[in-house]
Amino acid sequence: MTFIDERPEVARMVRLNFTISFGALLVGGLFGMIQALHRTDVFRGFVNSQDYYTVLTGHGVLLALFFTTFFLSGLFTWGVSRSLDEPLPNATATKGWFTLMFSGATIAALTVLGGFVPSMPFKADVLFTFYAPLQAHPLFYVGLAMFLVGSWLSGLDWFRMYRSWNKKNPDKRVPLQTFMALTTMLMWYISTMGVAVEVLFFLLPWSLGIIDTVDPLLTRTLFWFFGHPVVYFWLMPAYFVWYTILPKLSGGRLFSDPLARVVFLLFLILSTPVGYHHQYLDPGIPSGFKFVAMTNTMFLLLPSLLTAFTVVASMEHGARQRGGKGYLGWLRALPWDNPAFSGSALAGLMFAAGGFSGMINAGMNINYLVHNSTWVPGHFHLTVGTATALTFMSISYWLWPQVTGKRLQHRRLAMVQPYVWFVGMTLMSNALHRGGLAGIPRRTAEPQYNNVNFETMVGSVGELRLQIGIGAILLFTSLFMFLLVMTGTWLVDRRGSIAVDGHIPAPLSGPNDSPTILDNFRVWVVLAIVLVIIAYGIPLSSMVIDGPLSPGSPPIVPV
């Protein structure tokens, strides 16, 4: 039976969340293309350089916060309900958190867009990181706070569904998809403490004039307390797809359920105590703690490397079920014409590259060379920009029919879309990495200077700029293709049964092959908190002891 018929209210929540997510994707993605063409000087006709920073803020906030989070909410709502075979705990509560999230996101987004209209007092030209002393309109912070609280409440739904299921199944292991959703949310609760304190205790009262100054180093540090784990908030739903759905799409079963649990627990405990690797070049933070952040970060490579093994092993298993033979020949037996498969597989492949460029960022002293250069967006467009975004788009081809009851339309377009993304992202990210090595800065409307000559190792700066422009256009084209497929599918009438098979077979190595302590969330949460205290306790205390608002900076609203 199709999911929409089994659980119509759950399917509706998934559709709502996905719709907001796709809307954010459209606008955020368009902004990205405008940025790429502008900063490379390929085309500067969309906006002037001052408004570039409004575009950049919109791109970051819409994509990195709203596109990702709303998709995660839809995906996990489906996954928890499906794996537990549970309904929503309370329809009103669910509508409540969704409304809170959506309203908060809308308010924040509108303040950002207000930056285009000089006559409006609402603006937030502060970028996705909103570092003080740059200040946005108070409604920006209000919107973000509402959005954040809404996301906290979404997790409550899934914990309640788990408790309801647990009462009926006290001796069973937590189903994997629910396990993943719950560990992701536990990580979210711990990590968002930083940004919640930053916004609610400092930036919001400061923007309302209740306090005159804030300590920029403290607020920046609180942001990065959150700013690193948020990338795992983006990555874990992608892993959720690669572990629980991709094996089935490959024609087989998940290689190992226990290792998948271990991976998610590693993220729960290691995601937050690494935030200083975003602040390697910051004064005011002792270098010893930067070293600790570096070692912790390097160990974060482990869950991803383990994932690489399991995902590839599962794909190989599936390929051989489909008749694939040979050392590498089995690759040809995979369903490369199924965009749900191909996009997820290509996303995983690109993530491998992104992981290694991330290791360079993590390399403490190496970071001197690449910090705040285009290497950084080169890296994260491979990770959140592909591992997350392309996986989300691809799995929608499989999930959207199940929650709408409609057959996927424009299948040819869907089939081609992931490949266009992969090629476009290679071009753009390759050039961004090379530009970063030459020292070209990120987040800059016109990186063409009088005094600065960028020396590239390979190719000229002109070639780099062209590559970025072409890559960005391909990316937006791919994004648009995806939205055409989604919209086209939504617009047709329900007719007969869908072609997608929603059945997910059991893994080869099941949960009972693993120690039960893995399911004991309390243990891991305590461990996670202890690690955070070790990493952040002393530096944060020293920033607060000299006065939480001192050394203080008054607000500066960017023109």
In the window 216-255, what residues touch another protein (CB under 8 A)? 216-217, 220, 255
Catalytic, 380? Answer yes
Smallest distance, Å, CB 426 to another protein? 4
In the window 69-108, what residues touch another protein (CB under 8 A)? none
DSSP 474-490: HHHHHHHHHHHHHHHHH
For position 416 contacting another protein by CB under 8 A, the verdict is: yes
Which two three-digit tokens encode residue 519? 């399911």
For position 117 contacting another protein by CB under 8 A, the verdict is: no
Question: Can you name the residues that pair with 214 across neighbouring β-strands?
Answer: 553
Cβ 368 vs Cβ 446: under 8 Å: no
556 SS3 class: strand
# residues near another protein by CB under 8 A: 100
Which residue lies nearer to another protein by CB, 46 or 336? 336
Backbone angles phi, psi at 549, to 5 degrees: -105, 15
Which two three-digit tokens encode residue 24? 């954010």
DSSP state of 558: -
> For another protein, which residue of 90, 99, 169, 295 counts as binding (CB under 8 A)?
295
532 SS3 class: helix
Backbone angles phi, psi at 457, to 5 degrees: -80, -40
> For another protein, which residue of 8, 118, 286, 505 counts as binding (CB under 8 A)?
286
Give the active site residue among 7, 381, 433, 465: 381
Token pair 């990120």 is found at 442
For position 46 contacting another protein by CB under 8 A, the verdict is: no
Cβ 237 vs Cβ 71: under 8 Å: yes
Which residue lies nearer to another protein by CB, 43 or 449? 449
Q: Candidates 66-74, 190-198, 300-308, 488-496 — which segment interacts with another protein by CB under 8 A?
A: 300-308
142 SS3 class: helix
In the window 358-387, what residues touch another protein (CB under 8 A)? 359, 362-366, 368-369, 371-373
Count how many residues are written for the chain.
Answer: 559
Catalytic, 442? Answer yes
Position 356: which residue type?
F
Positive or negative, the Cα torsion across 180, 182, 188, 193?
negative
Catalytic, 228? Answer yes
Cβ 554 vs Cβ 132: under 8 Å: no
Backbone angles phi, psi at 134, to 5 degrees: -65, 140
Burial class of residue 138, CB neighbours in 10 A (0-12, 13-18, 19+): middle
Q: Candidates 28-36, 67-75, 426-434, 477-485 — which segment interacts with another protein by CB under 8 A?
A: 426-434
Cβ 416 vs Cβ 481: under 8 Å: yes
How many angstroms separate the CA atoms of 524 and 53, rounded? 40
Backbone angles phi, psi at 439, to 5 degrees: 100, 5
Q: Candidates 9-17, 88-96, 240-248, 455-463 — which segment interacts with another protein by CB under 8 A?
A: 455-463
DSSP 292-318: HHHHHHHHTHHHHHHHHHHHHHHHHHH
Q: Candidates 72-80, 172-180, 356-364, 475-483 — which segment interacts with another protein by CB under 8 A?
A: 356-364
Give the active site residue among 173, 371, 443, 465: 443
Beta strands in 355-478 (DSSP E): none
Give the active site residue among 71, 442, 465, 482: 442
For position 514 contacting another protein by CB under 8 A, the verdict is: yes
Cβ 370 vs Cβ 436: under 8 Å: yes
Which residue lies nearer to another protein by CB, 100 or 347? 347
For position 455 contacting another protein by CB under 8 A, the verdict is: yes
Smallest distance, Å, CB 298 to another protein? 5
What is the contact mask toward another protein in residues 530 to 549, using x (rule: CB under 8 A)? Answer: ------------x---x---
Smallest distance, Å, CB 455 to another protein? 6
Q: Candidates 138-146, 154-162, 224-232, 416-424 — which segment interacts with another protein by CB under 8 A?
A: 416-424
Catalytic, 232? Answer yes
Smallest distance, Å, CB 288 to another protein? 8
> For another protein, which residue of 161, 186, 390, 415 counts as binding (CB under 8 A)?
415
> For another protein, which residue of 16, 72, 107, 127 counts as binding (CB under 8 A)?
127
> For another protein, which residue of 272, 383, 430, 478 counts as binding (CB under 8 A)?
430
Which residue lies nearer to another protein by CB, 187 or 370? 370
Smallest distance, Å, CB 65 to another protein? 17
Cβ 221 vs Cβ 292: under 8 Å: no
Which two three-digit tokens encode residue 385? 């920009």
> For another protein, which residue of 193, 292, 313, 484 counts as binding (CB under 8 A)?
313
For position 277 contacting another protein by CB under 8 A, the verdict is: no
Token pair 């306090």 is found at 211
Other beta carbons within 10 Å of 62: 27
**CA angle 295-300-301, nearest 5°?**
105
Smallest distance, Å, CB 310 to another protein? 8
For position 458 contacting another protein by CB under 8 A, the verdict is: yes
Which residue lies nearer to another protein by CB, 127 or 146? 127
Position 523: which residue type?
V
Cβ 42 vs Cβ 53: under 8 Å: no
Give the active site residue among 380, 392, 397, 476: 380
Q: Candidates 22-30, 49-57, 79-87, 388-396 — which segment interacts with another protein by CB under 8 A?
A: 49-57
> For another protein, which residue of 156, 193, 423, 483 counts as binding (CB under 8 A)?
423
| Residues assigned a catalytic role | 228, 232, 379-381, 442-443
